[in-house]
């Protein structure tokens, strides 16, 4: 009997019984998942957690850019940073009508949530007022059938309260990676700023969507430490997992894309760390997972971002809907 046959089942049994997996046990599970036997063992047991809490249901969400480009921040993976493309045009504001059209299209494709995402450290007044107006128009156009989300950067308590009043019920602000790794990837704002913004959103009454990006040079310890910060300090309702799509011109433009098995291991580990959170697979799944995209659910995922992303093209919603139907999964579209 291999160590994977004993440690992974033991850890998952504890999670199914309501216990929190320890950092040491999580690191050992991740290590064992590096070979074939451990990999399939990890996926098998992570799927048991998914089935217990979510049965055969999944959710879909979509995003639309409210403000694009010329970002003042220097996140090393991001194509919107002005630091890596001097002379960019000023940031472009997208009108409420265009965002409303995008939300209605997402609704027709069974998305239950729509998020407005702005580039930049924090919203200025014109940007913020445009988001509030878009939110009102989307709520009216979709007959309040979609959850409205926002991802605007750092928030003040007043802005958070105004978003709630306008109908925004969830706020996205990713931690991106561990605090240790973050300092190597971003210099223009601090990890604590991100944590504080999530707490501000929660205090205002919004639920939280917070996750990160993988494939930026982080270790398994970084991946697990971010997950434990989310689990123990942030307690998000939704955890988006993004996988680097190297973009020419950024400092990580020459990075090697991640392999499918490693991505599936990450998904499974996050399911073990946060058994009842909605684990959402977002950017990078097409280029990195390729023909193994349907495996995300067996690894423990319960949600996908459909349609296009902010700076890259996603897979067609029709292909995703067909995949979900073929797997016998049911979309929760309310």
Neighbours of 92 (CB within 10 A): 12
Per the CB < 8 A criterion, the answer to whether 89 and 52 are in contact is no
Position 205 scores a pLDDT of: 98
Q: How far is CA 305 from the centre of its chain?
A: 8
DSSP secondary structure of 230-256: IIIII--SEEEEEE----TTSTTTTPP
Position 4 scores a pLDDT of: 63
CA distances from 57 to 36, 71, 113, 325 (A): 28, 37, 15, 11
Count of domains for the chain: 1
- Note down pLDDT in tens along the chain; length 334 residues: 566 668 999 999 999 999 999 999 999 999 999 999 999 999 999 999 999 999 999 999 999 999 988 899 999 999 888 888 666 677 788 889 999 999 999 999 999 999 999 999 999 999 999 999 999 999 999 878 899 999 999 999 999 999 999 999 999 999 999 999 999 999 999 999 999 999 999 999 999 999 999 999 999 999 999 999 999 999 999 999 999 999 888 999 999 989 999 999 999 999 999 999 999 999 999 999 999 999 999 999 999 999 865 555 567 889 999 999 999 999 998 7
Rounded Cα distance, 215 and 256, in Å? 8
From 222, 230, 214, select the one nearest 262 (Cα to Cα): 214
E strand map for the chain = 57-68, 92-93, 113-118, 147-151, 168-172, 207-209, 212-214, 238-243, 278-281, 303-305, 330-331
Structural domain contains residue 326? yes
Position 152 scores a pLDDT of: 97
Residue 324 parent element (H or E): helix 317-326
Structural domain contains residue 239? yes
Structural domain contains residue 163? yes
Is this structure's pTM higher than 0.85?
yes
Position 6 scores a pLDDT of: 84
Position 103 scores a pLDDT of: 94
Structural domain contains residue 252? yes
Position 144 scores a pLDDT of: 81
Alpha helices in 33-156 (DSSP H): 36-54, 96-108, 125-141
Rounded Cα distance, 44 and 165, in Å? 43
Q: 165 lies in which domain range?
A: 56-331
| CATH code of the domain in which 217 resides | 3.20.20.70
CA distances from 275 to 70, 138, 226, 334 (A): 38, 32, 15, 22
> How is residue 88 annotated by DSSP?
P
Rounded Cα distance, 70 and 119, in Å? 8
Structural domain contains residue 51? no
Rounded Cα distance, 78 and 85, in Å? 11
Structural domain contains residue 18? no
Structural domain contains residue 289? yes
Structural domain contains residue 24? no
CA distances from 230 to 54, 216, 233, 270, 289 (A): 20, 19, 6, 10, 24
Rounded Cα distance, 74 and 250, in Å? 10
Position 277 scores a pLDDT of: 98
What residues pair up with 238 in beta bridges, in sequence order?
209, 278
């Amino acid at each position: 009997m291999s160590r994977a046959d004993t440690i992974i089942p033991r850890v998952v049994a504890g999670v199914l019984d309501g216990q929190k997996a320890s950092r040491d046990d999580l690191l050992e599970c991740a290590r064992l998942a590096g070979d074939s036997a451990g990999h399939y063992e990890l996926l098998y047991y992570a799927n048991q957690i998914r089935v217990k809490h979510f049965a055969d249901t999944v959710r879909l969400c979509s995003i639309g850019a409210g403000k694009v480009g010329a970002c003042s921040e220097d996140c090393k993976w991001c194509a919107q940073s002005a630091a890596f493309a001097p002379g960019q045009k000023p940031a472009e504001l997208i009108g409420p009508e265009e965002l409303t059209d995008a939300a209605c299209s997402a609704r027709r494709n069974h998305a239950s949530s729509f998020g407005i995402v702005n580039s930049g450290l924090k919203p200025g007044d014109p940007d913020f007022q445009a988001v509030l107006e878009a939110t009102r128009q989307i709520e009216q156009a979709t007959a309040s059938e979609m959850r409205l989300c926002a991802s605007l950067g750092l928030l003040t308590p007043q802005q958070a309260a105004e978003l709630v009043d306008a109908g925004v019920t969830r706020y996205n602000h990713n931690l991106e990676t561990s605090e240790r790794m973050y300092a190597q990837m971003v210099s223009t704002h601090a990890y604590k700023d991100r944590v504080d913004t999530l707490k501000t959103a929660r205090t205002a009454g919004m639920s939280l969507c917070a996750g990160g990006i993988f494939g930026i040079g982080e270790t398994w310890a970084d991946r697990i430490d971010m997950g434990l910060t989310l689990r123990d300090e942030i307690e998000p309702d939704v955890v988006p997992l993004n996988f680097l799509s190297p973009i020419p011109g950024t400092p990580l433009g020459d990075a090697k894309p991640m392999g499918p098995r490693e991505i599936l291991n990450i998904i499974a580990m996050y399911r073990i760390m946060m058994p009842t959170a909605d684990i959402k697979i977002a950017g990078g799944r097409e280029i990195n997972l390729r023909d193994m995209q349907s495996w995300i659910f067996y690894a423990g995922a319960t949600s996908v971002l459909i349609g296009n992303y902010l700076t890259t093209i996603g897979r067609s919603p029709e292909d995703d809907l067909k995949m979900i139907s073929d797997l016998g999964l049911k979309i929760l579209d309310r």
